[in-house]
Structure 1
């Protein structure tokens, strides 16, 4: 089995992206924006996204890698969320 997505979390397709007019890419995770790429990073990712246009699994993997390790499980809750 591949080490990428062993728990099958990308099967739900939690990532989405939006290409803006100025060339930047906004990446959303479960409807919330988590990353905005500009310049050379956005150009490289855009080329990779067009290369895997029909493969949803590869698209999700690319978007997950582009966001980096943003979700570790130790995020702090807001001041109003004391749970």
Structure 2
């Protein structure tokens, strides 16, 4: 088991991304947009994603790291 993903959350692939024509990267978590990466940071992320495009877990890890600590567990759930 990896020390980085002890609870094995990244294997569920919660993050997705979309690269726009302008070179921006839009990152989604569970279908909701959480971050937009632009300019040089986006170029670096796209390069890193292309390097590991065959390994979904590594892509998930890259996306998790770039989003930072956005989810702390105290978010309120919306009405279903």
Aligned to 1:34: 34
SS at match of 1:28: strand
- Give a deviation string over 1:18-70, Cα, whole Å, max 9, x none: 00010100000000000100001101100000000100110100010111110
Aligned to 1:49: 49
Q: Which 4+ residue blocks in structure 1 deviate beyond 3 angstroms? A: none
Unaligned runs of 5+ in 1: none
Which residues of 2 match residues 1-83 of structure 1 at below 5 A?
1-75=1-75, 77=76, 81=78
Unaligned runs of 5+ in 2: none
What's the TM-score, normalizing by structure 1?
0.87
Aligned Cα RMSD in Å?
A: 1.6
Work out which of the two has the higher radius of gyration on C-alpha atoms and give 1 or 2. 1
